[in-house]
A and B are shown apart, each in its own frame.
Chain A
Amino acid sequence: MAVQRKSNIHILDGNQAAAIAAKLSRVQVVAAYPITPQTPLTEKLSHFVEDGQLKAEYVAVESEHSAMAVCTSASIVGARTFTATSSHGLAYMHEMLHWAAGARLPIVMACVNRAIGAPWNVLNDQQDSISQRDTGWIQIYCRNNQDILDTVIQAYRIAESVYVPVMVCYDGYILSHTEMPVDIPEQVDVDRYLPPYKPHTTLDPDNPKNYNLVTLANPRVGVDGKLCHGYMELRYLLQEALQDSREAILHAGKEFNDVFGRDYANMFWEDRNEDAEITIVAMGSLASEAIVAADILREEGIKVGVLGLRVFRPFPKQDVVQALRKSRLIVVFDKNISYGSEGATCSEIKSALYGTYINAAIRNFIVGLGGRDVKARELAEATKKAISSLKETVTNPDYPEWICHI
């Protein structure tokens, strides 16, 4: 569908794009603690609240743990809430991340991806958000600043339709502090796209309720005589919500295209993958870099395509299988490491392909930890190394290779 609308291009860094998206989403409560490289985002939001551009309560908390506690409290009484953090701040939030998802609260958080200590490092990799993989949050990774703005707005549509919190992840500095053209939507269009938040529970003094008290493993009969879920049934429902959230994500992406003319009806994006024999898989801005690597390899006559993972949770297994069906070699670049195993996205790809008819070789490279620069040339060389390794063996190695100077 052709969409007729005026573009409104500004030169923004990723943090500004996220802040503007939160403002356009009419968030009502922001609770955040500044941490590098997320800080300019929280400063921008507090500025919006201070000068009246955003009618929201800005809670300047004393820690990230408190930030997420405020967000859960605000969300359960019906406020649209936003927070943002990075690295150690996200780790400090860990307990409350479980709480937000377990209470099924549609909080949206920007995670500005940064390395985690020891040793101290403020630069980019994706170890922080990958470490929060199993908290029950939807995780979406952005490739550029337009993606960040659009994804934050979509995140509210997704979160509030499936009642699962959404983490919008983008690479620290590479996106958070790098300026690029971003089309800022009109408020009236965002309002059309994003209806007001309807909480699944409401606190009503005339009808008092307990929420998330000690819940036994087995179902039990409540004081009203009805059989209620036990702890395990509630955990199942969270898993079911994430399993089923694919449709909500695709729907939010399709409707975003209908209103704004940018299509997000996909769980990942692809570049020249139709005729590719070799597919490079990466997530976030690294996948953008992989396109340049594919350019280099295509010039040398190697048929390379790129699969840029967008949605990491829920992991789109069936879609990935479909996209990789023609590949004979899959080269996965990870900006994270599950110590003693391999990169997290590589594990996901292997898991998705197991038991299918696809018998591609898989090679995993760990790159860019702690802000180590990743050049397209290095990705291209690693891909060629992976190709030549096929002559020696088709067996997938136990452990990944690292692009570093050891």
Chain B
Amino acid sequence: MGTRDCNHICDESSPGIGEAGRTGEWRTHLPVIDDKRCTASKLNKPTCFLCWLYCPEAVMTRSIPPSIDLEYCKGCGICAQVCPVQAITMAPEEKKLG
């Protein structure tokens, strides 16, 4: 079966979860959110969300408290870097051996 019916003339796709496999397995460091420090959680208001804005994998939720889809979080640490109140720390990933 050919692709002639595909009307794209350059590569085009819709964003979808897991397009490149379960990328959470790439992670060496795990972001851990301290809700007591997180501005949105502390104020109970939809504010800040820089972690959500900057996450390149769109795995951070814009919720109170924010949560992370660890199936696809690669552990890049950008959320921890951009958090203005240091509410996110990168903990070494404990991998199962064997």
Contacts and interface: CB of A to CB of B under 8 A. Distances in A.
Are both chains from one complex? yes
Interface of A: 102-104, 163, 200-201, 208-215, 219, 222-224, 226-231, 233-234, 237, 241
Interface string B11-38: 1111110011000000000000000000
Given A229-B3, A230-B3, A233-B3, A223 B19 contact: yes
A117 to B, nearest CB: 34
A231 B12 CA distance: 11
B13 A234 contact: no
Contacts of B12: 201, 209-211, 228
Given A227-B3, A230-B3, A233-B3, A222 B10 contact: no
Contact of B10 (A104, A223, A226): A104
B10 A209 contact: no
Interface of B: 1, 3, 5-6, 8-16, 19-20
B13 A227 contact: no
Contacts of B8: 228-229, 234
B14 A228 contact: no
Contact of A211 (B1, B6, B10, B16): B10
Given A229-B6, A233-B6, A237-B9, 11 more contacts: A209-B13, A210-B13, A211-B12, A212-B10, A212-B11, A222-B16, A223-B16, A227-B6, A230-B3, A233-B3, A234-B8
Given A219-B3, A233-B3, A224 B9 contact: no
A209 B6 CA distance: 15
B13 A213 contact: yes
A234 to B, nearest CB: 6
B11 A208 contact: no
B6 A228 contact: yes
Contacts of A237: 9
B14 A208 contact: yes
A212 B10 CA distance: 7
A339 B12 CA distance: 39
B9 A104 contact: yes
Given A219-B3, A223-B19, A233-B3, A228 B13 contact: yes
Contact of B5 (A102, A208, A227): A227
Nearest to A163: B9
